[in-house]
Amino acid sequence: MFSLRVFLPASLTLVMLTVLLMLGNWQVERLAWKRDLLQRIELRTQDRDGPAKRTLTRASDIAKLEKREDEYRKVNLRGSFGSQVGLWFTQIENKPDGLSRPDAVGYHVLSPFYLTDGSAIMVDQGFVPLTQVEGLRANKTVEQSLAVILRWPDARGRFDNADRPEANLFYVRDTDALGKHWGLALPAPIGEVAAAGQGWPRGGQTRMVIANNHLQYAVTWFGLAIVLVIISGLWHIRFYKSGRRFSPNQNDASQNHENGNS
């Protein structure tokens, strides 16, 4: 017999189970994606301290780059820095090791790098402490070969501060925003200076370690799904047994009532 006391809990269980399984499956897919990403990063950065195997000299070289295939790849840029500078406020984990407490907060120095054909790409020259910003020297605008790690622009988060172009201060490495500020057409890739070097700004700050917690997230969601099934099953078993116990008593009362009438 249809009963809302059975139908509603069963329906809610089915809905919650579907959601939990979808979340678990999504984390499994994210796990596969993250492992593939980490494997590609490892392959591309194995020889990060050695010479770059590829040199980019013109806009057509940059146009051939793809994020999936080229992010974290080490390349050489041939050209010269421009005089423009932007400061990107960075989180603590991006600072070089061994800095004193006053130097633990600062910026990354962003500048356009002009290739030999006159086109530009944004280069992150590295970290500079807040206490050393005023002492930064102007970029050397001589032609050079610059080893960089290719990265792609960061997405602006909900809690990122608004940029302050008038103060050359930016909170997201956004090539569109920097290009508009400098009056340049900047392509998507960003070059992070590969060598640490001496003085400020200090390169070699590319983060090679990426958190991968998707397996434990998947286990959590699937574990909750199992617990939900167990709890729901126990509840329905108890409800069924309580109904079985109630039915004979109800039949006995009906029989006694009939005997009394007779």
pTM of the predicted model as reported, rounded to 2 decimal places: 0.67
Q: What is the pLDDT of residue 105?
A: 77
Q: How far, in Å, CA of 53 to CA of 55, rounded?
A: 7
Is the predicted pLDDT of residue 61 greater than 90, yes or no?
Answer: yes
What is the tens place of the pLDDT at every residue in 150-164? 999 988 888 888 999
Q: Do 57 and 176 sit in the same domain of this protein?
A: yes
Is residue 169 a part of any domain in this protein? Answer: yes
Is residue 255 a part of any domain in this protein? Answer: no
Is residue 74 a part of any domain in this protein? Answer: yes
Q: Do 112 and 172 sit in the same domain of this protein?
A: yes
Instruction: Report which of 123, 126, 127, 139 is spatially closest to residue 78, judged by C-alpha positions.
Output: 123
Q: Do 222 and 102 sit in the same domain of this protein?
A: no
Instruction: Report which of 81, 99, 88, 255 is spatially closest to residue 184, judged by C-alpha positions.
Output: 81
Token pair for 197: 């070097």
245 alpha-carbon distance from chain centroid: 56
Q: Do 25 and 149 sit in the same domain of this protein?
A: no
Instruction: Report which of 174, 191, 193 is spatially closest to residue 70, judged by C-alpha positions.
Output: 191
Q: How far, in Å, CA of 41 to CA of 76, rounded?
A: 18
Q: How far, in Å, CA of 161 to CA of 172, rounded?
A: 9
Q: Do 32 and 79 sit in the same domain of this protein?
A: no
Higher-confidence residue: 257 or 142?
142
Q: Do 4 and 117 sit in the same domain of this protein?
A: no
Q: Do 131 and 183 sit in the same domain of this protein?
A: yes
Is residue 57 a part of any domain in this protein? Answer: yes
Q: Do 162 and 114 sit in the same domain of this protein?
A: yes
**Given 3-state DSSP classes, what are the helix, strand and coil percentages for the chain, each rounded to the nearest 5?**
45, 20, 35
Burial of 259 (0-12, 13-18, 19+ CB in 10 A): exposed
Is residue 204 a part of any domain in this protein? Answer: no
DSSP state of 183: T
Is residue 72 a part of any domain in this protein? Answer: yes
- Please give the C-alpha separations between residue 184 and each of 16, 26, 86, 188, 231, in angstroms, as whole numbers: 51, 40, 13, 12, 61
Is the predicted pLDDT of residue 28 greater than 90, yes or no?
Answer: yes
Quote the percentage of the chain above a pLDDT of 90. 41
Domain count, the chain: 2
What is the tens place of the pLDDT at every residue in 81-107? 998 989 998 755 555 666 776 677 788
Q: What is the mean pLDDT of residues 12-19?
A: 91
Q: Do 44 and 64 sit in the same domain of this protein?
A: no
Is residue 6 a part of any domain in this protein? Answer: yes
Q: Final residue of a domain: which of 150, 169, 193?
A: 193
Is residue 262 a part of any domain in this protein? Answer: no
209 alpha-carbon distance from chain centroid: 12
- Least confident among 21-25, 75-79, 97-101, 183-187: 97-101
Identify the band that residue 256 occupies on the pLDDT scale cut at 50, 70 and 90.
low
What is the tens place of the pLDDT at every residue in 186-215? 998 999 998 877 788 888 878 766 778 888
Q: Do 186 and 57 sit in the same domain of this protein?
A: yes
Q: Do 68 and 172 sit in the same domain of this protein?
A: yes
Which residues span the domain enclosing 157?
A: 52-193
Helix 214-261, helix 4-45: angle, nearest 10: 170
Q: Which residues pair with 75 in a beta bridge?
A: 148
Q: Do 73 and 163 sit in the same domain of this protein?
A: yes
CA angle 30, 88, 140 (to 5 degrees): 120
Q: What is the pLDDT of residue 227?
A: 92
Q: How far, in Å, CA of 27 to CA of 220, rounded?
A: 10
